[in-house]
């Protein structure tokens, strides 16, 4: 049973860079059948897609966050990571990693497996 | 403010049906058949209930169904059960390789 587990600091100072990692267990991140994505949920608000990555390094980013986001993949560790720069209070959120299917070589725009999320608070 | 508009709350008694709406624009919901619905029990991982407007993943009860008309998608839960009480979020592919979500609907089983 494939599982996703987010990890990273629970507290980040404003203007710094947030770094989170998602560890994939029970399956290979190098599978050609999936992209791997990040989604966040600020307290009391809805979900927001951050971006997604393929094992080859191909990425899609939310246009509103693109200038501050970098998503990378480490196949040797079966992990993918999120870096979000110039953090502010509005970036306080529960950050989820998730799996996104590829069907007949086309990215299917939904997430079929999620992690529970890790809470990140931005505060000095 | 979320890109897709959902009612903040919905409710129904056990056995009843409830429908949750998700309204977007022609640049997202109305323009593509990549609408999905997620069930989220706080503290747990979200779970996809519907994808590509009306497709159900294996393991999701057929009490859950999805549809779309114009710029509005809908999730219907029939035969409500206590375990259906959760937050529900819609999402849609949007122009230029973007993915947008709704603000969420809290479903209460009375």
Distance CA A82, CA B66 (A): 32
pLDDT for the residue A104: 81
Percent of chain B, pLDDT > 70? 100
CA-to-CA separations, A108 to A45, A52, A86, B32, B50, in angstroms, rounded: 25, 12, 30, 12, 13
Q: With bands split at pLDDT 50, 70 and 90, how would you rate the model's confidence at A90? A: very high
pLDDT digits (tens, 9 = 90+) for A35-84: 999 999 999 999 999 999 999 999 999 999 999 999 999 999 999 999 99
Sign of CA dihedral A26, A22, B106, B74: negative
Which site among B45, B57, B66 would you substitute to test the A interface, given the most A Cβ atoms closer than 10 Å to its Cβ? Answer: B45
CA-wise closest residue to B50 among B41, B59, B42: B59
Distance CA A38, CA A77 (A): 18
Neighbours of A23 (CB within 10 A): 18
Percent of chain A, pLDDT > 70? 100
pLDDT for the residue A54: 95
Report the phi/psi class of residue B28: left, alpha or beta, with left for phi > 0 and alpha for psi in -120 to 50: alpha
Average pLDDT rounded to a whole number, residues A114-121: 97
CA-to-CA separations, B15 to A14, B1, B85, in angstroms, rounded: 49, 33, 13
- Please determine, for residue A33, whether its predicted confidence score (pLDDT) is greater than 80: yes
Contacts of B32 in chain A (CB under 8 A): 109
Q: Which of A45, A112, A114 sits opposite B57 (nearest CB)?
A: A112
Collapse the DSSP code of A91 into the 3-class scheme (helix H, G, I; strand E, B; otherwise coil) and give the result.
helix
Percent of chain B, pLDDT > 90? 95
Average pLDDT rounded to a whole number, residues B18-29: 97
Q: Are B75 and B90 in contact (CB under 8 A)?
A: yes
pLDDT for the residue A19: 98
Task: Report residue B70 CA to chain centroid gap.
Answer: 16
Q: Cβ contacts of residue B59 below 8 Å, gap of 6+?
A: none
Instruction: Mark which residues 90-119 of A lie under 8 Å from B by CB.
Output: 96, 98, 108-117
pLDDT for the residue A24: 97
- Please determine, for residue B2, whether its predicted confidence score (pLDDT) is greater than 80: no
Q: Which of B34, B57, B99 sits opposite A49 (nearest CB)?
A: B99
Distance CA A36, CA A117 (A): 14
Average pLDDT rounded to a whole number, residues B13-34: 97
Percent of chain A, pLDDT > 90? 93
């Amino acid at each position: 049973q494939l599982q996703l587990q987010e990890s990273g600091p629970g507290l980040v100072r404003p203007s710094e860079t947030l770094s989170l990692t998602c560890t994939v267990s029970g399956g290979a991140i190098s599978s050609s059948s999936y992209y791997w994505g990040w989604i966040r949920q600020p307290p009391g608000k809805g979900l927001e897609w951050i971006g997604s990555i393929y094992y080859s390094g191909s990425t899609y980013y939310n246009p509103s966050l693109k200038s501050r986001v970098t998503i990378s993949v480490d196949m040797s560790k079966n992990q993918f990571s999120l870096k979000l720069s110039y953090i502010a209070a509005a970036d306080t959120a529960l950050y989820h990693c998730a799996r996104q299917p590829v069907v007949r070589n086309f990215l299917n725009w939904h997430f079929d497996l999620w992690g529970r999320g890790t809470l990140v608070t931005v505060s000095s | 403010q979320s890109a897709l508009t959902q009612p903040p709350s919905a409710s129904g008694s056990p056995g009843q049906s409830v429908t949750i709406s998700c309204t977007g624009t022609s640049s997202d919901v109305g323009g593509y058949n990549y609408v999905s619905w997620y069930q989220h029990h706080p503290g747990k991982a979200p779970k996809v209930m519907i994808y590509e407007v009306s497709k159900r993943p294996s393991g999701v009860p057929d009490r859950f169904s999805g549809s779309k008309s114009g710029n509005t998608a809908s999730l219907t839960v029939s035969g409500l059960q206590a375990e259906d009480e959760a937050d529900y979020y819609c999402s849609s592919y949007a122009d230029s390789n973007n993915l947008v979500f709704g603000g969420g609907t809290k479903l209460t089983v009375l």
